[in-house]
């Protein structure tokens, strides 16, 4: 495990890419179950399991890109395309006996908990982003789903490879609520998570849409806004429906989707009893307080 800061973002990328990326234990168990019943397994079955694990998603996309054929002149950015290229049986052969995150962090229980929280947020963000992309009639909903799933890829990799350093970042922010994440990351790692994320995108040849997430010039791009808002909302709602940032998130979501606020609140599953607190200020008088 990495216990001290490295001199550059390139050094981090080199360190992280030289270590095999583990996946969740539940993923390996599900793959074993499916392989034992391979004649009845579909690509959709496999895709659902892969998309339930951001680590496995990264591993598969990276594998496909590093094994791309010379005549292939386009990126593979969806799990369905990757599985179609590989085939079901070769997939299970390639990804047999994968290392697990639970084993990798067996002696770092706090780091494992931190990793699982990030993965849980990522899976929620992917579901939100997919739903909102459908509302906007996006031409490639699957690409947006994956980009949202991997939005915090760098933090996952840091929990796995530098658990003590990553925990130190969180401890600094707990001690100083005003301390920005990037500032804490730079104090501990010497670089930010965005710096590492960009390096990993290039090293593992992850979807280019992830690069747009890090470019300030793309802030008004509707696809970027969808993914960023999904990630932020998933993080805020994971802290509870009373989180102070949620009303602003919902105001942004109403503007993005251009649908009535009550429809937005239904889509995100907000409990009706707290609607008055969640509604954007402009709509605050549109709904009566629930009875009782």
Q: What is the pLDDT of residues 42-87, one digit of tens each?
A: 999 999 999 999 999 999 988 887 776 544 444 555 788 888 889 9
Q: Which of 87, 102, 117 is the last residue of a domain?
A: 102
Q: How many CB atoms lie within 10 A of CB 69?
A: 7
Q: Which residue has the higher pLDDT, 80 or 188?
A: 188
* 155 token code pair: 């933090």
What pLDDT score was predicted for residue 262? Answer: 87
Q: Assess if residue 156 is contained within a domain.
A: no
Q: Provide the mean pLDDT of the chain.
A: 89
Q: Assess if residue 268 is contained within a domain.
A: yes
Confidence grade of residue 287 (pLDDT, cut at 50, 70, 90)? very low
Q: Assess if residue 277 is contained within a domain.
A: yes
Domain count, the chain: 2
List C-alpha distances in Å: 205 to 37, 76, 107, 168, 201: 32, 10, 31, 29, 5
Instruction: Give the whole-angstrom CA distance, residue 127 versus residue 132.
Output: 9
Q: Assess if residue 169 is contained within a domain.
A: no
Which residue carries 């109403």 as its tokens? 254
What pLDDT score was predicted for residue 280? Answer: 62
pLDDT at 245 over 80: yes
pTM across the whole model:
0.90
Q: Assess if residue 4 is contained within a domain.
A: no
Cα dihedral sign, 84-149-56-238: negative
Q: Which of 71, 102, 133 is the last residue of a domain?
A: 102
Instruction: Give the whole-angstrom CA distance, residue 131 versus residue 149.
Output: 13
* 121 token code pair: 């947020």
Q: What is the arithmetic mean of pLDDT over 176-182?
A: 92
Total count of residues recorded for the chain: 292
Q: Assess if residue 92 is contained within a domain.
A: yes
Domain that holds residue 52: 21-102
Q: Assess if residue 289 is contained within a domain.
A: yes
pLDDT at 185 over 60: yes
Q: Which of 82, 102, 122 is the last residue of a domain?
A: 102
119-122 contacts, C-beta under 8 A, 24 or more apart: 119/24, 119/53, 119/54, 119/55, 119/156, 120/238, 121/152, 121/231, 121/234, 121/235, 121/238, 122/54, 122/148, 122/149, 122/150, 122/151, 122/152, 122/156, 122/231, 122/234
Q: Which helix (H) or strand (E) holds 58?
A: helix 54-66
Instruction: Give the whole-angstrom CA distance, residue 234 versus residue 167.
Output: 21
């Amino acid at each position: 495990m990495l216990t001290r800061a490295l001199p550059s973002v390139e050094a981090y990328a080199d360190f992280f890419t030289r270590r095999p990326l583990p996946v969740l234990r539940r993923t390996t168990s599900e793959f074993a179950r499916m392989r034992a019943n391979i004649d009845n397994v579909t690509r959709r079955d496999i895709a659902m399991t892969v998309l339930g694990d951001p680590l496995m998603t990264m591993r598969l996309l990276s594998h496909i890109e590093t094994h791309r054929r010379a005549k292939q002149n386009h990126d593979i950015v969806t799990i369905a395309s990757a599985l179609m290229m590989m085939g079901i049986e070769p997939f299970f052969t390639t990804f047999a006996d994968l290392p697990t995150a639970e084993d990798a962090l067996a002696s770092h229980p706090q780091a494992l908990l931190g990793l699982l929280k990030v993965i849980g947020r990522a899976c929620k963000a992917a579901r939100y982003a997919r739903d909102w992309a459908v509302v906007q009639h996006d031409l490639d909903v699957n690409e947006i789903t994956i980009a949202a799933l991997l939005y915090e890829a760098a933090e996952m990799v840091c929990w796995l490879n530098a658990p003590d350093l990553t925990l130190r970042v969180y401890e600094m922010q707990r001690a100083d609520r005003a301390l920005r994440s990037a500032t804490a990351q730079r104090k501990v790692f010497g670089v930010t998570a965005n710096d590492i994320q960009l390096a990993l995108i290039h090293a593992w040849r992850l979807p280019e849409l992830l690069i747009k997430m890090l470019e300030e010039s793309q802030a008004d791009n509707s696809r970027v806004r969808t993914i960023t808002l999904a990630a932020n909302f998933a993080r805020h709602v994971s802290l509870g429906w009373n989180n102070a940032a949620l009303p602003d998130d919902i105001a942004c979501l109403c503007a993005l989707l251009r649908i009535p606020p009550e429809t937005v609140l239904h889509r995100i599953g907000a409990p009706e009893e707290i609607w008055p607190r969640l509604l954007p200020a402009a709509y605050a008088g549109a709904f009566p307080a629930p009875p009782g």
